[in-house]
Structure 1
Amino acid sequence: MKITIERAALLRSLGHVQSVVERRNTIPILSNVMLKAENGELALTATDMDLEIVESVPAEIAQGGSTTAPAHTLYDIVRKLPDGSQVELDSSGDNGLLTLRSGRSNFKLGCLPVEDFPQMSGGDMAHRFTLAASDLRNLVDRTRFAISTEETRYYLNGIYLHATKSRAGEAEMPVLRAVATDGHRLARVEIPLPYGASGIPGVIVPRKTVLEIRKLIDEAADRIEVSLSETKIRFGFDTVTVTSKLIDGTFPDYERVIPTGNDKVLEVDSRVFASAVDRVATISTEKSRAVKLSIDRGNLTLSATSPEAGSATEELEVSYDSSPLEIGFNSRYLLDITQQIEGDGARFIMADAASPTIVRDVADSSALYVLMPMRV
């Protein structure tokens, strides 16, 4: 293989693919990126066996072929080359090395055989549909904060994606729904069901895949093609294809967690509320991060105390007509949810100090959040 490529184009593609490669690998080939030159393009592939990213970038090809090179080392070299430079990659010698030349710089990198590089892309994907980039961003951004990081509950370590029906008044509408929960809070967001997605199985997309997809969405074109089977999911961007294994587990029946009998409704200005929670929480202990809400007609008092730091209170004018209520929440979780509310108003629908609370965006019915209270 012998090619010449613009430094900026190579750096951008290496930046996308190398983030999949783990820093510490027991299998040496997984530390490498595969480079394949053909038909006027260089295809870069990186994988960790669960997730694979392939990106194609235009290149001047003097000699086609393929090789593998250390992903992070190659990325660091290209990153440090001057802007606007041309990079020549040459693995045509029989010494098993990749030579990188740019200006007066010359590097030789050890390669591993292409035959050892694992292939993930195979297999037929039975379901295909297209999503607007803005819709996928919406599903990811408004649920990913609630993904569990507890490895023992591996089936919660991702976003559950499925087709279902949502009740809007009297009518039922088909929707694509994303759900994430860590047992303390739950996020449920839906968009109108895209054409072709009606028969998809319910799947759990792993956290790492979600984070990699999110990085690519902002650079994507308007539409993203999603392909799906029982065990894998593939996202097709302009020049990038991301293929991921799905989490092999059963997502819990989240509908059972969403309370239906809550009757106390509190409405607040979400930005004013979030700022007040943030201020008061400065006093709360690092471990519990507890903030107490004391609610009475038209009035909300936020308070926090800690044996070391002292106490804090702040009062807000709110809309509330039910009996007085005192309830405590983890301030970090409260802020995570209020940050997802794009309109001015947040609606808290509560029952008592020990029952789950529903939080909604007053201006947008497509998202619903559930938050477990805590003793304060």
Structure 2
Amino acid sequence: MQLIQATRDAVLKPLTTVVGIVERRNTLPILANVLIRKQGPQVSFIANDLEVQITTTADFGVGEDTIATTVAARKLLDILRALPDFGDVKIALDDNKLSVLAGRSRFALQTLAATDYPTVSQPEQWDASFTMPQKALKHLFDRVHFSMAQQDIRYYLNGLLFVTEPGRVSAVATDGHRLAHSSTVVESATAQTDIIIPRKTVHEMQRLLSDDSEATVQVDVTATQIRFRFDEIEVISKLVEGKFPDYKRVIPTGYTRHFTINREPLQASLQRAAILTTDKLRGVRLELGGNLMRISASNAEQEEAREELEIDYAQEPLDVAFNVSYLLDVLSNVKTDAIRWSVQPDVNASVLLTLPDDDAFQYVVMPMRI
């Protein structure tokens, strides 16, 4: 019973879209599979890891019948990638085996019943819904994702706070040592919601969203789920339970010492200084004063790096240390010409990094002792 006939690349595109969430090791063997549903010419590919589900559709089904099955996702992906890029690929289901035919190549793969595949049940009504451009949503995630915690026992930090309020959407991430906040105007947002999106879902959305597309994303939210729909893709994710820290209290206000520095020279200087730090101690010292930023790093082998950059800072000197990785993260992900620093004359005070002429982004980094 033939399911699909299309070019190799046409089949690869939807399969590649969903296979990113398929884990190589699963407690449920069927989760290593992709669910293929054919309803007439429309074919859906669905992957689910019990936290996030991705569905995408394409019009290359053969016949008008309705068929569903599941097959090992990465095996099918690897086979398609290895096939030569000419002629059509034919995929059929016979005797509980999925056959893949292309030219003189033949493959037969074991299947598991589609009825055993766990799919996410969706609510009849969502608490909040709005639309925004793809590039705006990707921009929001890109500016904060690096501050999410990794495997923190405070599980609510292993995700991204997604805040909607009338006319605006914000994203916040923190690991307890630094915090990134970014927001954007979304006129169609009307409800007030605060939810935590899992780390894996954020990374999948970054992979799937386009950097430059003005096409809209439909976003739907409940207390336990979030759904994104764009192009021919649907992403549904569970949410992280827990109370996210009050980020507004963490972002400093009232700082009176500011200077602006070009991003790329600063990034290059920090990258060079970081060479002499160690994995256990990633600290660099920043000395501000006399219209200079002096960057230094040293290690247990008595090796030392020193860099100097000109800045417009004539106030009393300030000597403070930071984890260089935290500084490089923001400089790598926020693609602007310049970064605005705001500091206090206190070695224990956090630094506030913002963007000139743009109050929609804040990055707070706590100092460290070295």
**TM-score (norm. length: structure 1):** 0.93
RMSD: 1.7
Q: Is the contact made by 2:135 and 2:214 (CA closer than 8 Å) also made in structure 1? A: no
1:68 aligns to what?
70
Deviations 1:22-60 (A, max 9, x none): 100121111111111113111111100111011101114
1:367 aligns to what?
361
The residue correspondences of 1:322-333 to structure 2 (distance < 5 A) are: 322-333=315-326
SS of structure 2 residue aligned to 1:234: strand
Deviations 1:205-244 (A, max 9, x none): 1111111111111286621111111111111011111111
SS of structure 2 residue aligned to 1:36: strand
Q: Of 262, 281, 304, which aligns to 1:311? A: 304
Q: Is the contact made by 1:121 and 1:243 (CA closer than 8 Å) also made in structure 2? A: no
Residues paired across the two proteins, number: 365
Runs of 5+ unmatched residues, structure 1: 166-173
| Aligned mates of 2:321, 2:260 — CA distance in 1 | 17
The residue correspondences of 1:1-376 to structure 2 (distance < 5 A) are: 1-3=1-3, 4-62=5-63, 63-91=65-93, 93=94, 95-124=95-124, 125-164=126-165, 174-195=167-188, 197-218=189-210, 222-308=215-301, 310-351=303-344, 352-376=346-370
Runs of 5+ unmatched residues, structure 2: none
Deviations 1:285-320 (A, max 9, x none): 222111101111311111111122601111111011
**Greater displacement, 95-104 / 18-27:** 95-104
**Greater displacement, 345-354 / 220-229:** 220-229
| Aligned mates of 1:182, 1:12 — CA distance in 2 | 35
| Aligned mates of 1:137, 1:159 — CA distance in 2 | 13
Tell me by how many angstroms 1:104 deviates. 1.2
| Aligned mates of 1:230, 1:123 — CA distance in 2 | 11
| Aligned mates of 1:85, 1:309 — CA distance in 2 | 63
Q: Which amino acid aligns with 2:289?
A: D
SS of structure 1 residue aligned to 2:118: coil
| Aligned mates of 1:121, 1:239 — CA distance in 2 | 19
| Aligned mates of 2:334, 2:91 — CA distance in 1 | 48
| Aligned mates of 1:329, 1:214 — CA distance in 2 | 28
| Aligned mates of 1:321, 1:163 — CA distance in 2 | 40
Tell me by how many angstroms 1:194 deviates. 3.1
Runs (4+) off by over 4 Å: none
